[in-house]
Structure 1
Amino acid sequence: MPASTGSLLRVRLGAPAMRPRLTPVSAPWVAVAAADDHAKTLRAYDSQGLAHAVDTSRVPERPLYVLDIDVSKAHRAGLAVLHKALTDKGLASAEPGPANSPDVAGWWATKVTAVEVKDDQEPWFKGAAEMFSLVTGFGVDGKARVDSVDMPYLDYDGTVYYPNQILVNWSNYKYNLADVVMMEDDDGTNYKALAQAITTALLTVTDQGAYIPLVNALLSAMPDSWFTDDPDYVESWYTLAKNSTGRLNGASGNGWMTVEPYFVEQF
């Protein structure tokens, strides 16, 4: 992260379910969030400084304060790093794409009206998930393109969200098709490494005059660790079209979203 990001340290309640158990006479324990999503226990300390092992398989009955990284803040700064790196490599543009037609002031988009994931790859002790999607396709110049889309509302799995969020700006793409990879940000995500993996995979892909799915090329370039921790692969959608409407199930069966075409008018 650049120095301008500022401090990333925070203290938070371990899980929302603990809030009703915070009372004037309660004595919450304090723990440091484990770096490993698959940690079996957390070491927590009581008010006397005594250590206790906390089972991570379920939210504990005792309220727990967790010291960790402000992932929301780091996530926003990291996406800016990712976008700049992709823009510098010609895989994203700094400015919005041109209008679809000189006679029409605006552009067509795909809007997400509802979305849910079964497993957000984030255990309770890491707090709410920080989700983002990578939209890939071929830009109007015929080169592979990646647009990062922040999804800050997608906090918890098993919950349906209704964001009405723009996912794809079709004026940025040559073909009527694009792919989507959804990921979850962990507190150790190296966005420069993520950008490097993406550029390594996509700069070698050339336009053959027909649409080529880019999901496999992108995923195959990522280190194995990114499918278990830092950051986590959540779901992917192939061949999303400009006229796609309704519910779209993800390729791995871990999530779904409903979409609809949406025309964004210019003033």
Structure 2
Amino acid sequence: MKRMLNTTIIASALALAISSPLMARDVASVSEARQEAARSVASLVNDPAFEEAFRAQMGKDRARLADVLASYTPAKAHAASDTTATLRDLDRQAIHLRGLDGAVGSLLDLHLSGDVGGQPVASTRDIWTATIVKNMASGQRELVAYDPAGAEHRYPANAAPAVPMLMVGSKNREATGAGIRLMNETMRRGGVQSVSPLMTARSASAVEEVTVLTDIYLTDDHEPNTAGDADVFAVVSGVNREGKVELVNVDMPYLDHDKQWYTPGQDLVTWRSFAGNYVNIQLFEDDGDTDWQKIAVTIINTVGDLSLIIAPGDPLTGALSKIAAKVIEAMPGKIWQNSVDYIDSFYLVDRRSHYTQKNPNIGARKQARIGLELRTFGGQSVKDSVDKTGNAGNGGAKGL
């Protein structure tokens, strides 16, 4: 009986070991998940099957790690199985750490950085693998890279060596879009957003006044070149018709590089959600480490009670300035890994103002310039317009 019991226990343990995938060690941050993934990917880059899978999954400029692993058939399956299982678990942990459980199927991705003599990288063989992390001592972002021998190298994020690298990232348009939707839903439940942004703009049942973002230019998107495209979003803040704080998060999926003009024609402010004639517009860049759920809760707790922000009798314009300050306060050094992810602020943007590429509204930090135009949908065009560019002067801004 004892022998049979021991045999059963051993058999069960073997079955569990065979059937259970190897789990990566628990990581404390998305940054750590990326670093562990970069270390693991370094052991696969010289396998031709891995390069084939990576190339097959490349989209615009990057490939989702989960898709690469799904199509990867290593020549030595047993040798690579532990590594691929570890990478899948790191991907799962990264999704959880960003607050996106159930919202995205994969988060970690791969893209090539650098070139060879001005030509695209022809092969991943012997290539370095790398990612961007935060140096806990200095608070600055740096690049951690692993060479073909497995040795670790560290450099300032914007001073990487001129060698091709396979970069591991933790952000993509799907994740940023899901994060923005999650933030809006959380803020709506938290009482700082009155109506879903999807239900406000260009309503067919009523006349809607919408400020459209016609043009935008970033002097600096605060994204290291090795990290690839930027992922920028806006926070529009003001006071709603009930006298409460109103916050709307707006995704900007087209805005992926600095030092060039974009002409999105994007609905930015739906005025039905706001009282008066003024809002703030603030720009931020997703660094790939954001816990979207946590940042939404932090902003609600920081900004949500207007009575704690302004004193009785204060003008609404003063309230808006304080709301904008509170939004910034909720971001750097708390949820974001690095405060440079705050790009710029446009304070007290007038509903009736008009800006263009030639005469843009310049942000307080001079890191962004925008063109804005008020448009009316479902009715006659708005006639009362204040040109803030200096080309026209049909009246000053009216009070709230």
Residue 30 in 1 paired to residue 102 in 2? Answer: no
Number of residue pairs aligned between Structure 1 and Structure 2: 261
- Residue number among 168, 175, 198 corresponding to 1:67 in the alignment: 168
Contact 1:227/1:233 (<8 A) preserved: no
What's the counterpart of residue 237 of structure 1? 346
Residue 210 in 1 paired to residue 316 in 2? Answer: yes
Give identity over the alignment, percent.
22
Mapping for residues 169-208 of structure 1, pairs under 5 Å = 169-206=270-307
Structure 1 letter corresponding to 2:348: T
Residue 80 in 1 paired to residue 194 in 2? Answer: no
Coordinate RMSD, CA, aligned: 3.0
Task: Rate the CA distance shift 1:12–1:26 in 2: closer, same or farther, 3 A.
Answer: closer
Mapping for residues 82-97 of structure 1, pairs under 5 Å = 82-92=183-193, 93-94=195-196, 96-97=199-200
Distance, in Å, in 1 between the alignment partners of 2:123 and 2:225 is: 24
- Residue number among 208, 216, 233 corresponding to 1:115 in the alignment: 216
Distance, in Å, in 2 between the alignment partners of 1:171 and 1:40 is: 44
Normalised by the length of structure 2, the TM-score is: 0.58
Structure number with larger C-alpha Rg: 2
What's the counterpart of residue 265 of structure 1? 378
What's the counterpart of residue 33 of structure 2? none
Contact 1:184/1:233 (<8 A) preserved: yes
Structure 2: 5+ residue stretches without partners: 1-99, 380-400
Contact 1:8/1:70 (<8 A) preserved: yes
How far off is 1:20 after superposition? Answer: 5.2
Task: Rate the CA distance shift 1:77–1:253 in 2: closer, same or farther, 3 A.
Answer: same
Structure 1: 5+ residue stretches without partners: none
Normalised by the length of structure 1, the TM-score is: 0.85
How far off is 1:244 after superposition? Answer: 1.0
Distance, in Å, in 2 between the alignment partners of 1:227 and 1:74 is: 16
Residue 131 in 1 paired to residue 232 in 2? Answer: yes
CA offsets 1:125-145 (integer angstroms, 9 cap, x no match): 221110000000111222110
- Residue number among 92, 104, 109 corresponding to 1:10 in the alignment: 109
Task: Rate the CA distance shift 1:170–1:215 in 2: closer, same or farther, 3 A.
Answer: same
Secondary structure, counterpart of 1:219 in structure 2: helix
How far off is 1:222 after superposition? Answer: 3.6
Distance, in Å, in 2 between the alignment partners of 1:194 and 1:265 is: 36
Task: Rate the CA distance shift 1:18–1:230 in 2: closer, same or farther, 3 A.
Answer: farther
Distance, in Å, in 1 between the alignment partners of 2:175 and 2:121 is: 31
CA offsets 1:190-215 (integer angstroms, 9 cap, x no match): 11221122111222214867342121
Distance, in Å, in 2 between the alignment partners of 1:42 and 1:153 is: 28
Contact 2:202/2:377 (<8 A) preserved: no
Larger RCO, structures 1/2 (Cα 8 Å, 6+ apart): 1
More strand by share: 1
Contact 1:242/1:261 (<8 A) preserved: yes
- Residue number among 265, 270, 283 corresponding to 1:164 in the alignment: 265
Contact 2:291/2:335 (<8 A) preserved: no
CA offsets 1:89-133 (integer angstroms, 9 cap, x no match): 121123634999xxx932011111111111111111221110000
Structure 2 letter corresponding to 1:229: N
How far off is 1:81 after superposition? Answer: 1.4
More helix by share: 2
Structure 1 letter corresponding to 2:316: A
Distance, in Å, in 1 between the alignment partners of 2:123 and 2:108 is: 27
Contact 2:209/2:377 (<8 A) preserved: yes
Distance, in Å, in 1 between the alignment partners of 2:154 and 2:339 is: 23
Task: Rate the CA distance shift 1:141–1:162 in 2: closer, same or farther, 3 A.
Answer: same
Contact 2:130/2:143 (<8 A) preserved: no
Secondary structure, counterpart of 2:264 in structure 1: coil
